[in-house]
Amino acid sequence: MAGPGGSLAGTFAALCCAGAPGALGLLSAVGAGFLINDLILLPLLAAALGVAIWALIQGARRKGDRRPLWLGIAAAVGMAAGIFAGPWLIWPAAALLVGASVWNLLPPPPPVTRAHRAS
């Protein structure tokens, strides 16, 4: 479950770094306004994205399917770029990262044998 948790935490940290009003307002409302500082949020973002990518790596090793990993890496890069470009880039990248994490949780497909192949 580290993948989706890391994805969601990374999304929130990226939105805070980009200055999204909703995320900043939520931090202030719960009394965590001191976290509205890029010196704190950037390492949190890096840690959250690292947890998400680590979970995707573990899934790729376990199942042998690297497609969710590559999608997750691209999404993490998009989220990091979104800090400087704005929240408009963070939202689609976050959706891709959460999607990659969910895809990583799905069971692997059954192996194809000769009996299942079409002649």
| Alpha helix segments (H runs only) across 20-113 | 21-29, 38-63, 67-85, 87-105
DSSP state of 117: S
The per-residue pLDDT of the chain, averaged, comes to 79
pLDDT tens for 33-88 read 666 667 777 888 888 888 889 989 998 998 888 999 999 999 999 988 888 887 78
Percent of the chain with pLDDT over 70: 71
